[in-house]
């Protein structure tokens, strides 16, 4: 394995582990939050996030990827001077966009709340607005660091965001909940308090990224500048960044746009045959309990996509086709290694996981937990599809084919919205139509992405690496989970956190051993220090 391959796997591991820790902290954070503001409060909290994520994606999704790709290409040619100019130009653009987006959300907070069908959420929209500016500014620093293949600052800043939520947002949520006069007023104020804490945490993370940028300046200064490369004008740099980022931003906006449509569509459709409060609670269970759990393993998929863009861009800049094929194959293989076991394992343990996490809070009934378990059983199957979509999108963006994942995701989301509209309108289906629509969305996106990766990278897709070997290891793991469920008993498992953790740990160990025996995990994937300790 080359040093660059180790860099890719190391970057995926670092950002992936940080991402998983962040997602786990996020899920654990939601347990006391749900206990503080209740299911209706969680419904309000979750109605704000889709609009926030959509606006944040419009402002900041494409430019950091463009920074990462452009900086990586510059440094591959020892062009430090233009790498610095890329960062300066991008930082100005992102900061300006952040100011505009924050102003829009503050000004039209009441309109956003009315469109969501919950006027009480206006205060929450105002509370999260400053975060748009803070995250946009921070994205410039993250993109530059990722282009330099320095993933640690991004990982630490993500941890700061999550830990800040625990120590700032939770106390604010509890305090503001207690200031309400009616039940819905309490819920709305509690959700707003949590979102104010989120904005504060983003501010601390931005300060950290700024410090990392200025303290690491000596690393760039140590690289000898290739004087044969002319200085690029700021105008040409901005034009290039915009040209790269627009299709990426549009593509990245598609899923948040679908989630925003969900937040407006699902509650309003279900209000046609359910009481208003019941419709909001069902949406709160799905978006507040189920989707955050889905997002835990997908943190690794996001880490893969972030690492693959500069890795592939370096190969394109050097015209090294072997490097491109090698990095692409590694990314796709890791997507299957991560996605398959997480998808199957979470689906099999859906209700026990939700029961031990949320039933003890007293805010959720057994019936609501059962509903969440049904939704998570189907929703978990999107993990394998999402990991492949993210990996292929990262590869295509590195190959300068960023329009392709934009088109494929758009096709998937159109199908998702159509199926949501069809199924959720049926009283017998109601919220259960949402996870089925997501499965269709990512399937429609994944298939053409894989074809295009093979076509443009020159990589011949390996059925063994992508499906058979990780699938066999996952099947062995699934049999272990099934056996443990029968041995412990479904009822006891749903009320014992140690039992659930034991099953998850045993399943992970069995999968790891099975993946090694089936050669789904290659010997070179394991760090040398660990190989020496276990005698590999």
Shortest CA distance to 313 belongs to which of 69, 76, 8? 69
CA 129, 305, 516, 531 dihedral sign is negative
pLDDT at 6: 42
A 10 A CB-CB count for 72 gives: 24
Backbone angles phi, psi at 254, to 5 degrees: -65, -50
**Please, which pLDDT band fits residue 511 given cuts at 50, 70 and 90?**
very high
Residue indicated by tokens 């993109």: 143
Q: 200-209, 326-335, 449-458: which has the minimum mean pLDDT? A: 326-335
Shortest CA distance to 255 belongs to which of 386, 375, 125, 138? 386
pLDDT at 183: 81
Residue 20: strand, helix, or coil:
helix
Shortest CA distance to 255 belongs to which of 389, 113, 95? 389
pLDDT at 287: 81
Taking residues 387-410, report their average pLDDT.
Answer: 87
Per the prediction, the chain carries an average pLDDT of: 83
| pLDDT reading at 174 higher than 70 | yes
Query: What does the DSSP 8-state code read for residue 275?
Result: -
What's the pTM?
0.69
Residue indicated by tokens 């300790």: 533
**Please, which pLDDT band fits residue 5 given cuts at 50, 70 and 90?**
very low
What would the two tokens of residue 457 be? Answer: 């990278």
pLDDT at 19: 60
- What are the C-alpha distances in Å from 396 to residues 255, 310, 412, 414? 18, 11, 17, 21
Taking residues 67-80, report their average pLDDT.
Answer: 84
Q: Helices in 222-359 by DSSP H: which ranges? A: 234-270, 276-285, 291-294, 298-318, 321-348, 350-358
Shortest CA distance to 87 belongs to which of 52, 63, 57? 63
Residues 342-353 pLDDT 10s? 999 999 999 999
Nearby residues of 40 by Cβ (< 8 Å), 6 or more positions away: 183, 184, 187, 277, 280, 281, 284
pLDDT at 156: 86
Query: CA-CA distance, 173 to 165, in Å (whole number)?
Result: 10
CA 204, 209, 210, 211 dihedral sign is positive
Taking residues 488-505, report their average pLDDT.
Answer: 90
Q: Helices in 271-297 by DSSP H: which ranges? A: 276-285, 291-294
């Amino acid at each position: 394995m080359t040093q660059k391959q180790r860099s890719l796997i190391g970057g995926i591991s670092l950002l992936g582990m940080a991402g998983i820790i962040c997602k786990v902290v996020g899920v654990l954070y939601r347990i006391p939050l749900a206990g503080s503001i209740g299911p209706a409060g969680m419904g309000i909290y979750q109605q704000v996030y889709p609009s926030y994520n959509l606006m944040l994606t419009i402002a900041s999704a494409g430019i950091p990827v463009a920074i990462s790709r452009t900086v990586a290409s510059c440094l591959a040619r020892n062009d430090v001077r233009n790498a610095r100019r890329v960062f300066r130009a991008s930082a100005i653009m992102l900061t300006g966009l952040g100011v505009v987006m924050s102003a829009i959300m503050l000004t039209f907070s009441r309109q956003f709340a009315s469109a969501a069908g919950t006027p009480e959420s206006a205060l929450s929209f105002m509370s999260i607005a400053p975060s748009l500016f803070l995250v946009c500014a921070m994205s410039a620093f993250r993109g530059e660091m990722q282009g330099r293949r320095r993933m640690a600052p991004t990982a630490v800043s993500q941890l700061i965001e999550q830990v800040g939520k625990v120590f700032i947002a939770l106390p604010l949520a509890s305090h503001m909940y207690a200031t309400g006069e009616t039940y819905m007023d309490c819920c709305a104020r509690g959700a707003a308090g949590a979102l104010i804490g989120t904005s504060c945490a983003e501010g601390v993370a931005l300060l950290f990224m700024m410090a990392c940028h200025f303290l690491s300046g000596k690393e760039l200064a140590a690289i000898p500048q290739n004087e044969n490369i002319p200085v690029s004008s700021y105008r040409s740099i901005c034009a290039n960044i915009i040209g790269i980022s627009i299709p990426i931003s549009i593509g990245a906006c598609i899923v948040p746009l679908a989630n925003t449509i969900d937040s407006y569509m699902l509650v309003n459709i279900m209000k046609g045959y359910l009481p208003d409060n019941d419709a909001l609670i069902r949406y709160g269970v799905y978006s507040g309990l189920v989707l955050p759990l889905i997002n835990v393993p997908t943190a690794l998929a996001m880490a893969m996509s972030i690492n693959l863009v500069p890795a592939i861009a370096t190969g394109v800049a050097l015209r090294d086709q072997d490097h491109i094929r090698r990095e692409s194959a590694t990314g796709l293989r890791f997507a299957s290694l991560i996605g398959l076991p997480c998808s199957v394992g979470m689906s099999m343990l859906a209700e026990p996981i939700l029961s031990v996490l949320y039933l003890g809070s007293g805010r959720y009934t057994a019936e609501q937990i059962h509903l969440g378990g049904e939704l998570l059983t189907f929703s978990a199957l999107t993990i394998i599809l999402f990991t492949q979509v993210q990996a292929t999108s990262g590869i295509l963006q590195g190959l300068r084919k960023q329009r392709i994942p934009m088109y494929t995701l758009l096709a998937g989301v159109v199908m998702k919205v159509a199926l949501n509209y069809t199924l959720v309108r049926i009283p017998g289906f109601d919220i259960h139509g949402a996870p089925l629509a997501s499965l269709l969305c990512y399937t429609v996106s994944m298939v053409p992405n894989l074809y295009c990766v093979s076509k443009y990278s020159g990589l011949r897709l390996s059925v063994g690496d992508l499906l058979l070997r990780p699938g066999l290891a996952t099947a062995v793991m699934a049999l272990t989970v099934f056996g443990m469920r029968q041995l412990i008993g479904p009822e006891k498992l749903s009320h014992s956190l140690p039992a659930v953790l034991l099953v998850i740990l045993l399943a992970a160990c069995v999968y790891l051993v099975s993946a090694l025996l089936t050669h789904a995990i290659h010997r070179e994937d394991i760090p040398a220090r660990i190989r020496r300790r276990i005698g590999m």
